[in-house]
Amino acid sequence: MKENEIREVGAVNIISKGTQIQGSISTSSDCRIDGTVNGNVISRAKVIIGQTGYVEGNISCANVEIEGKVKTEALNVSDLISLKSTASVTGNIIAGKIAIEPGAEFSGNCKMNTQRTPNVVPNPAEKR
């Protein structure tokens, strides 16, 4: 693992309920979203979208647990995506593994990526 790719152990980014972010988030550690994010979420670790969480944008991470709502063009998860019973996901999924609890809503296409290689959502800021 390269030095700049080391994940901070124990570090968790929290977007609290009532917080609204306009723009992308990029992190190497875990991220929990209970508020609203209008932009891409990129993490080399786990992303949790709580019951009050809402993301409108692309998500790229190692693992994701969704209890809230996601509206996306691309949800790229290199390992496991877990849709809890309260989850509502609209968009396309590429994942290594997927677990869907009864009651979860999913509308879109799903592709299982058996190669287990990380899928990275392009960062629009890098096109400048």
pLDDT tens for the chain, residues 1 to 128:
444 444 455 678 999 999 999 999 999 999 999 999 999 999 999 999 999 999 999 999 999 999 999 999 999 999 999 999 999 999 999 999 999 999 999 999 999 976 644 555 555 555 44
Could you give the CA distance from residue 105 to residue 2 in angstroms, rounded to a whole number? 38
The 3-state DSSP class for residue 54 equals: strand
Residue with tokens 């891409």: 40
- Other Cβ atoms within 10 Å of 32 Cβ, number: 17
**Residue 113 confidence (pLDDT):** 78
Radius of gyration of the chain (CA): 14
- Other Cβ atoms within 10 Å of 22 Cβ, number: 8
Residue 76 has phi, psi (to 5 degrees) of: -105, 115
- Tell which residue, 92, 83, 87, has the closest CA to residue 110: 92
Q: Which amino acid is at 8?
A: E
Per DSSP bridges, beta strands 36-38 and 46-49 are unpaired
- Other Cβ atoms within 10 Å of 118 Cβ, number: 14
